[in-house]
Amino acid sequence: MMTDKVFFSVIESPIGPLTLTSDGSSLTGVYFEGRGGPPGHDPDWERDDSRLRTATEQLEEYFAGERSTFQLPLSPQGSPFQRKVWDALVRIPFATTLSYGELACRIGLPGAARAVGQANGSNPLAVIVPCHRVIGSNGRLTGYGGGKERKRWLLNFERRVSHRHEHPADFELVPG
């Protein structure tokens, strides 16, 4: 049942603590501590780890290399354009990347790479809606709400999981 109340939980992950938020029926946010987080824990927010158990379990499976997609009800708050971009993000396969321009083409707006980048940067569901899989057209890692180090870690982790018996090259942080 959806309410006006915000429920939250904080979980540990290999990339630091994550704050999960819910409206009571859907996941509304996954935020990194100190970066790209929610506006603040409002006094009316209620900690409810049991309400967010399924999301927690699926994130734990992801970080254990046992899950490559999520099956959760999601309700991110954003404009229709942002939601269109976020819907396209969840269709980027595990351990693959594409550029902002390619993502813009996928949503039928080939000239909107910058707007797609802004919507990508506003994604409130880190990891679950994999905005970390979008990189620059030159193949370089670009900005990320959780910081480029987390983005690099997530991409390298996904590559290693998808190639358990191979040794793919890691993404490097390149200035610029």
Residues acting as catalytic residues? 131
* Residue 52 and residue 6 in contact, taking contact as beta carbons nearer than 8 Å: no
Cβ-proximal residues to 63 (8 Å cutoff; 6+ apart), any chain: 13, 14, 157
Among residues 82, 80, 88, 81, which one has the least CA distance to residue 122? 82
* Distance in angstroms (rounded) separating the CA atoms of residues 64 and 144: 22
Q: Give Cβ neighbours of residue 45 (< 8 Å, ≥ 6 apart).
A: 5, 6, 7, 8, 21
